[in-house]
Structures are given as C-alpha cells and as structure tokens.
Homo-oligomer: A and B are copies of this chain.
C-alpha cells in the first residue's frame, strides 16, 4: 500500500498534476466492490497494476487484472509495475507485456509511469484533434480544438493504482 501511495503522490505532484484514483483513498464506502472497480476503470485513461507477492495471492487483485485485460488486451493502457516479486511468480496472463520493476529504482519507475501516461494522453489529444478537423473542415474550428485539448490534458486524466498490499 505504501508504494502505491508514493507512486500516486509522485504522479499528482507538479508540474503535470495527473488525476489519480487510489482504491483505499478514493473508493466510495458502501458501494459494491466490483461496481466501484468497474466505474474506476471506465473513468480512467491508463491503469497501473502494482504487482507484488500479495497481489498474486489476492482474488480481488486478479479480478481487477482481468477486468483491465477485458477493456482491451492490446490497448497499451495498462502499465504493469513489479515490486519484490520473483519472475517465476509473475502472472502468466501478463507474460508478454513490458513492465517496470520498482524494486530496483522506484524514482525512475515513477518517472517512467509519468512519461507513459503523458505520451498516451498526447497521442489521444492528437487523434481527437485529427478526427475533429476531419468532421469540421468547413467551419472555423480553432476554438473547438482548444476545448478538445483541454479535455485530454494531463490534469483531467485519471490513473487508478490498485491497492495490492492491503485492502
């Protein structure tokens, strides 16, 4: 849990101030667990999975992993993060994804997550701009372009970090 909090604090810091969803901090008390997970997933651009020895033994963590995979196994929106986990215990379902090992250098790992999220958001903003221009070629679209960019800016993105150490 501590590592998840550290990562979220690092992502929420200036200058980019990414908006994050952290289970034990942001989940709505009284809501159904599975519905709350599904809502967090739907409202987020990128999903970081902090995979630890506790993660691979916890059915709810596995549940979240499969929900993330079901959102799009090739979407490039899932970032697996490893911490203190022998390679032999790594989930077989995630074997081919490129992951970040936080055990070696946590700060560099946090920075890599930050960069990956920003890159994803920049690509998303560019795609939306292109499709917007195609749809609206005949109109003056400069004002709308600015609005699209604002919607996709890092400050309005969300990033859930699954609480993997304790729940």
- A: residues with CB less than 8 A from B are 32-35, 37-38, 42, 59-60, 62-63, 66-67, 69-70, 72-75, 92-93, 95-96
Contact of A73 with B96 at beta-carbon distance under 8 Å, contacts A32-B66, A66-B32, A66-B34 already known: no
Interchain residue pairs with CB less than 8 A apart (14): A32-B66, A32-B93, A33-B69, A33-B70, A34-B66, A34-B93, A35-B93, A38-B95, A60-B73, A62-B74, A63-B73, A63-B74, A67-B95, A70-B95
Measured CA separation A53–B27 after assembly (Å): 28
B42-A67 in contact (CB<8A): no
CA A67 to CA B69, docked complex, whole Å: 13
Residues on the B chain within 8 Å of A95, using CB = 38, 67, 70
Which 4 pairs, one residue from A and one from B, show the smallest C-beta to C-beta distance?
A34-B93, A70-B96, A63-B73, A66-B96
Number of copies: 2
A156 and B62 alpha carbons, distance in the complex (Å):
31
The complex places the Cα of A69 from the Cα of B96 at a distance, in Å, of 8
A interface, by DSSP: helix, strand, loop or mixed?
helix
Residues of B within 8 A of A74 (CB): 59, 62-63
Question: Which B residues touch A37, using CB under 8 A?
Answer: 93
- The smallest beta-carbon distance between A77 and chain B, in angstroms, is 12
Please indicate the chain B residues that have their CB under 8 angstroms from the CB of A69 in the complex: 33-34, 63, 96
Taking each of A60, A63, A67, A73, which has the highest tally of chain B beta carbons within 10 Å of its own beta carbon? A73
Give 14 new A-B contacts, CB below 8 A, not counting A35-B66, A63-B69, A66-B96: A32-B62, A33-B69, A33-B70, A34-B69, A34-B73, A34-B93, A35-B92, A42-B92, A59-B72, A59-B75, A60-B73, A63-B73, A63-B74, A70-B95
